[in-house]
Amino acid sequence: MKRSSDYFRGCLLGGAIGDALGWPVEFMSYREILEKYGVGGIRDLTLSSRGVAEITDDTQMTLFTAEGILRAQNRFLSKGICHIPSVVYYAYQRWLYTQGYNEDLNESILKKSWLLFANELFHQRAPGGACVSSLLSGKQGSIQEPVNNSKGCGALARTAPLGLMFRKNEAFDVAMQCAALTHGHPSAYLSAGALAYLISSIIAGEELEPAVTSTLLKLEEYDNHQECSEKINMAIELSKLGFTNYRSIAKIGEGWLGEEALGISIYCAVKYQNSFKKALIAAVNHDGDSDSTGAITGNILGAYNGVANIPGDWISKIELRDVLVLIADDLLKEYDEETMNWERYPGY
C-alpha cells in the first residue's frame, strides 16, 4: 500500500511540475520546440519574473477538484447523503470565478473557500474552452444528459485527486461523473475514469504495468470504450519498441483529446517508470497539448514512485507548492477515514 504523504504529495506535485514544464511549449510544434530549446527540446522548468515555474488551468482545476470532493465527503459525514458531482460542480464555479467570470456568483458558493485566498490562482493560463463554456451555460452536465459533445482532455487533466481519494471502482465511476460536468463525449469521461482507476490501483499497491492492464479490463465493462482502450494498448506496445519518443507519441496523437492524452501519458510513464525526469521530458516534447500530457504523466509517476523520485530543485520551484502539499495531505487523511476539517472544507 502507498497510503503515505510521499505518494499523495508525489501525485499532486508531480502533476503540477509536468504542467509547468509543458506550459511554455503548449502551443508549439515539435520543430518549433527544437528550434527554441535545441536538441532534446525543453528539459528544465522555466521560471517567471516571480522566480517560480507557473502552473496552468490543469493544476488550478485539479486543486478545485480536490476541494470539491473533500467538501462532498464532509457533507456525507454530516448529512448521511451527498451527490458528489454537484459539490464538485460548485467548486468548478469557484475556479471560474478566479478566471474573471461569475463576478456575481452567489456568496454561499464562494463562502469559506480557502483556495480563494491563494492569489496565484487568479490568473488565466489558457483555460480550456469546453470547461469555461459549459460552466457558464448554467447547466450541470451528466453522462445521461451531456452538456456538449466535447472529448477534450481538460476533464482528464484535473482528475488525479479522485484516484487518491477513492478506492478504484468508486474512483472510476465518480471520475466519470465529474468529468461529464463539462465534457459530454464518452471518450472524455471514460479516459477520466480510467486515470482515476489507474492512480487508485497504484496507491493500493499495484505495480504500474499490471495496474494499466487492470485499467484496460475495467474500461471494457463500459460502452464506447474502444477509443480509450485502443490508445492505451497502443501506448503499452510502443513503450516496448525502439521508436523515438516523438515518433511513438505522434502515432498516439497530439494529446488534445482525452483518449490521446491518456495514451501519451501512459506511454511515457511505462517507458520511463523509474525516471520521473525522463518521463516528463518525453511527455512535453511533441506536437500537441504539452502541459496536459506532462501533468498527467507527473500524476501517474508521482503516485507510483513518490516525492523521492522527483528532482528536489523542481519541487522547490513549483508555483503553489505549499497549497498542493496541504491538499495532498488532506486527501490522505480522508483516504484513511480521519475526521476532516470542517472549517477548511464546509459540506456544501
DSSP state of 83: -
248 is in an annotated binding site: no
339 is in an annotated binding site: no
| 343 neighbors 330 (Cβ within 8 angstroms) | no
313 is in an annotated binding site: no
292 is in an annotated binding site: yes
Residue appearing with cell numbers 468548478: 92
| 150 neighbors 130 (Cβ within 8 angstroms) | yes
- Cell triple for 61: 482545476
311: left (phi over 0), alpha (psi -120 to 50) or beta: beta
In angstroms, the Cα distances linking 297 to 44, 77, 195 are: 16, 33, 10
DSSP state of 121: G
- Cell triple for 335: 483516504
150 is in an annotated binding site: no
- Pick from 312, 295, 203: nearest CA to 255: 295
| 320 neighbors 118 (Cβ within 8 angstroms) | yes
- Pick from 111, 113, 93: nearest CA to 103: 93
58 is in an annotated binding site: yes
- Pick from 115, 105, 112: nearest CA to 66: 115
> Which residues does the annotation place in the binding site for Mg(2+)?
56-58, 289, 291-292
Residues belonging to the binding site are 56-58, 289, 291-292
